[in-house]
Structure 1
Amino acid sequence: MKSIELNNVTASLGTDEQANFVVSNLTWQVTSDQHWLLLGGNGAGKSAITAVLLDQANIVSGTRSCDFERTEIVSSDLQKQLIAAELLADQDDISDGKTSPKLVSELIYQQSSPYFDEQLCQQLITGFAFAPLLKQRLRALSTGETRKLMLIKALSNRPELIVLDEPFDGLDVESTELLNTILADLSTSMTMVFVLNRLDEIPAFVSHYGYVSAGELQHQLATPDDKQRDDLFKLLHLEHTDLTIPNKDVAHSAPEFNEPELVRLRNAMVSYSGKVIFSHLNWTIKARQHWQLSGKNGSGKTCLLNLITGDNPQCYNNDIKVFGFQRGSGESIWQIKQYIGYISNALHMEYRVSISALNTIVSGFYDSIGLYQKPTQIQLDIAMQWLALLGLSELKNTPFTQLSYGDQRMLLIARAMVKHPTLLILDEPCLGLDEANRQRVLLLIEKICAAGSSTVIYVNHHAKDKITGIEHYLDMADFR
């Protein structure tokens, strides 16, 4: 069995002087009995990873070994290279006649592999209705026709492994159906690696899935079950979604708070039975200033949050100002909480009512576990917008208790956000989640930070776990 093996590879694309993209920590094996699909958002690095696979990148560290002798690729980058070469040939022809642009038929047959399959080539030419184009020059072809040209040439060379980067782009319905049929036939004798954005284009014979983000192959699934595949698709949906925070219901939204300082703690201390959890802690949170709060178990993260929310009675023994209220000045707990959206693992455990996914989000308007009031049409419309954002529209009537753990967590975050809180506290939001669902939650947090409608406090164990958009850090181990 042949294979390509990449072990802890870091590689760059571009010149040695200026790398355009960096692939990191890439450990991946593709064997001759596998067919892979790489998923990920635009700019995630899918094409860069396939370039490393085919030894078309500068490997900085790590190792690559390959048993495949014949490889091909069909991609937008290759398409650009073909067109650039044709433009150069045109310029030479105009200037001094050195080079004559080649016909499409010449491009198909030039530098053909000894394994070139004439019968397959003719099948593709006929199926794609490509024969009238063989006497054209490349520049006369449309985008879809150029993609057909590359497919005809690459597949006819009968490679042992082929990378198909968005192979259906620009193809009409009939050509897409033909290509699917031919790829299925070739899948018994040719290893394929697909890069696709459209989920409805995934060939049925794909056996392995990989998810790419920020130049890293973060998930690898062999023959994934329906749930694993579904989680990846939901993650992909978030990657491709431009987050527009749904509008708020003016009658049930957090009041406006326009002061720059949201929270201020001076020399805060919490102790129980003579044991000091933390002391001499100073912390100021300003509007749109997103924070990551980290620390090991027992370090006092939740105690600190409860000083802010008023759920810890020691808040009255400390110098704390929250949303313009000095603690202990006669304010009620609800005057504080009206500004706060909150999610924690404890809340998730308590949310055991069997209401629908839609009503779970609606319950956020009333800060209730369950829904005990008739929602307005505006609230239902806003909740549907959140479901669409999360890729959960089809589950709107599914009881909360029947949803996957990851879907439940996403709904609870939407529930916390639905009132556009001034401060959104996410206390260990990834606790209990598998890796794909953890990535979904982190990506949603990134998008909420970018939207700028709420100030975010993200709480976790590990200070090294960074989220784009969060630039302020409080570690309970060294806050002094």
Structure 2
Amino acid sequence: MNHWVIYLDNNSDKKGFINDFQHRRIPLALEEFKPKNGLLFSALTLDKLIEDEDRHDKKILSSEHQKLETMSSGEQKRALLHYLLSEKPDYIILDNPFENLDFAFQEELKSILKKHAKDITFIQLASRKEDTLPFINNFGYLEKNDFLIIEDSALDESDIPETFNFINIPASTTSFTNLKNTLIDFKDVSVSYGEKPILNNINWTVKKGDFWQLSGANGSGKSTMLSMIFGDNPKAYGQEIYLFGNKKGSGESVWDIKEKIGYYAPAMTLKFHGRQSVQHMLISGLTDSVGLYTIPTDVQKKIIDQWLNLLGLQDVKNKYFNALSMGQQRLVMTARAMVKRPPILILDEPTADMDSKSARLLVALVNKFANETDTAIIFVSHRQEKGLHPKKILKLIPGEHGSAGIIH
């Protein structure tokens, strides 16, 4: 079988390529696929299935007891893969199949795909060379809209710089006073959904200036923990959870908590559909708004200019945010979460789907935050990012009674 990997960078028009392929507008080098029937293994497919399930109560992947949107990302991908394989297509396009998956399921996925590689052709879209499936025998590269055939050795990721601009992290117009040294404190926290245990006696303390990586298998409870800190998860109430010195549920609003926390997850980028400039995107981080609805002050503009210099984006400050590459967008959004210099910064899988060069640049920025500020950082990721230097790791280990927390 002629299996392909097509490498992407953050300027590649992946969505356009997938859309063209599905409508049989296929590059000449891949014309063998034009008369064949194919399916798409992608977050795009999952989003469509979730929408159909909500709108039409049309269940394709959901079990009798759990809706698709409530499954972990790993559970969703497992269900989608088995469904697609059962349809017996001629080929399957695998859109960054290993993103957001723990190591164990990555290995399981590789084994499943290898088993079916004799009967189904796989076209893997990969942002990282290290993710290449071992049985791939053809190599391509998507340069913006153009598909190119390449040699395996043509994509060299060994010499990617891990440094960042030498400008210091800018100050903030926001002052957070009367904060205690301990910002987050979980004491014997256990959570279950129905009869399904999720967390088992979690003890975890986050102090000023800490740099944590939060890791664990899919479904181990990472999202549950984040939602009890940053969101309004009712499971947090009645627990021994303390945020900024106050017990969760003791009278503070969710907005009192959110104003002290910078948060970024890649899905947030979808909220910004308007024509905000890069400069206005960063200023909106100072005002906690999705858009910019007030005239920025001279002080705000000065601080944001310093951020633009730090990011190396001064020359595109008036460009529409949506016109930036994915790598540039992620840098802007990560900086946006930090422009207030919040007591806590939570980055939830910020490097998912990024190419190696852009990911290392973002990692270097996060390391810089940790080295130059007293903001406590919580970096959530399955992937062991090269160059990331967390001081501590909280790993959630699933068990019969829910996940236990192991600190390294």
Range of TM-score over shorter length: 0.5 to 0.7
Instruction: Indicate yes or no: 2:342 matched with 1:421.
Output: yes
Partners of 1:427 and 1:277 lie apart in 2 by: 19
Equivalent in 218, 241, 244 of residue 165 of structure 2: 241
Give the corresponding residue for 1:282: 203
* Partner Cα distance (1:254, 1:425) in 2: 19
**Is the counterpart of residue 470 in structure 1 residue 390 in structure 2?**
yes
CA pair 358-264 structure 1, distance change in 2 beyond 3 A: same
Let me know the Cα RMSD of the aligned residues: 2.6
The alignment's TM-score, normalised by the length of structure 1, stands at: 0.49
Give yes or no for the alignment of 1:321 onto 2:245.
Answer: no
Are 1:448 and 2:374 matched, yes or no? no
Provide, for residues 67-89 of structure 1, a one-character-per-residue CA deviation record: whole Å limited to 9, x for no partner.
xxxxxxxxxxxxxxxxxxxxxxx
Which of 364, 368, 371 matches 2:285?
364
Partner of 1:276, secondary structure, is: strand
1:119-158 alignment runs, 5 A limit: none
Corresponding position: 1:407 with 2:328: yes
SS in 2 for 1:479: strand
Residues of 1 paired with 2:391 and 2:328: CA distance?
27
Q: 1:414 to 1:473 in 2, by over 3 A?
A: same
Runs of 4+ in 1 over 3 A off after TM superposition: 222-227, 464-469
The residue identity in structure 2 corresponding to 1:285 is V
Asked whether the equivalents of residues 214 and 380 of structure 2 are also in contact (C-alpha less than 8 Å), the reply is yes
Does residue 479 in structure 1 map to residue 400 in structure 2?
Answer: no
Compared with structure 1, are the counterparts of its residues 467 and 258 closer, same or farther at alpha carbon in structure 2 (3 Å cutoff)? farther
**Shift in alpha-carbon separation, 1:410–1:387, aligned structure 2, 3 A:** same
Q: 1:361 to 1:256 in 2, by over 3 A?
A: same
Tell me how far apart the structure 1 counterparts of residues 211 and 227 of structure 2 sit (CA, whole Å): 18
The alignment-based identity, stated in percent, is: 37
Shift of 1:475: 0.6
Displacement of 1:392 in angstroms is: 0.8
Contact 1:425 1:456 in 2 (8 A): yes
Q: How far apart in 2 are the matches of 1:273 and 1:282?
A: 22
User: Per-residue deviation at 1:380?
Assistant: 1.2
Bigger-Rg structure (1/2): 1
CA offsets 1:273-328 (integer angstroms, 9 cap, x no match): 32222221111111112111012222211210111124312111311110011112
2:262 and 2:346 in contact (8 A); partners too: yes
Structure 1 pair 401/223, CA: closer, same or farther in 2 (3 Å)?
Answer: closer
Which residue of the partner structure matches residue 208 of structure 1? none
Is residue 262–residue 286 contact of structure 1 (8 Å, CA) maintained in 2?
A: yes
Task: Check the 8 A contact 1:248/1:382 in 2, yes or no.
Answer: yes
Per the alignment, in what secondary structure is the counterpart of residue 263 of structure 2? strand
CA distance in 1, matches of 2:382, 2:388: 17
- Which amino acid in the other structure matches residue 390 of structure 2? I
Retained in 1: the 8 A contact 2:185–2:242?
yes
Q: Deviations over 1:129-161 (max 9, x none)?
A: xxxxxxxxxxxxxxxxxxxxxxxxxxxxxxxxx
Pick aligned residue for 1:334 from 250, 255, 280: 255
Aligned to 1:384, the other structure's residue is in SS state: helix
Q: Which residue of 2 aligns with 1:379?
A: 300
State the shift of 1:474 in Å. Answer: 0.3
Q: Which runs of 5+ in 2 are unaligned?
A: 1-139, 146-156, 398-403
Q: Judging changes above 3 Å, is the alpha-carbon distance between structure 1 residues 257 and 461 closer, same or farther for their aligned structure 2 residues?
A: farther
Q: Select the structure with the greater relative contact order (CA < 8 A; seq sep ≥ 6).
A: 2
Deviation, 1:364, is 0.4
Query: What letter matches 1:244 in structure 2?
Result: N
